[in-house]
Amino acid sequence: MDPIEALPARLHRRSWLILGLLLVASLLFRDTAITLGVLCGGLVSIGGFLWLRRALRQLLEEVGTGSKARYQFGYLVRLLALAILLAVLVAVVKVNPVGLVIGLSVTIINLFWIMIQQLLSH
């Protein structure tokens, strides 16, 4: 398999590894609110990334008119769903905002990790 084709699977596996490492690190604070925030943020980050990946795959597989408009509409739905989910987590569930932000950074950390790995291998 071409390395670029294996990239999404590697990103997915590594996201779970990063979330696990962040959860273990959050346990050092002995604050369940921070750990819950990291967990919720990580799950939202991974879920949002998987949702985006699926939408892009559908866009690339679809041929014909309207696929671009469907993708753009799906983008707005995804953005609204994530905004509502984050608002509920902060306002209703009362997760720790710092932990939430740390958890939300799972995908960003993962992308930086891949980028650095690619730069060092060339």
Structural domain spans, the chain: 3-121
Cα–Cα distances (Å) from 18 to 31, 56, 101, 113, in that order, read: 19, 23, 14, 10
Model's pTM, two decimal places? 0.88
pLDDT bin (cut points 50, 70, 90) of residue 72 is confident
Any alpha helices (H) in the chain, and if so which ranges? 3-27, 32-61, 67-91, 97-104, 106-121
List Cβ neighbours of 42 (8 Å cut-off, separation of 6 or more).
15, 18, 19, 22, 23, 103, 104, 106
Of all residues in the chain, the percent with pLDDT exceeding 90 is 66
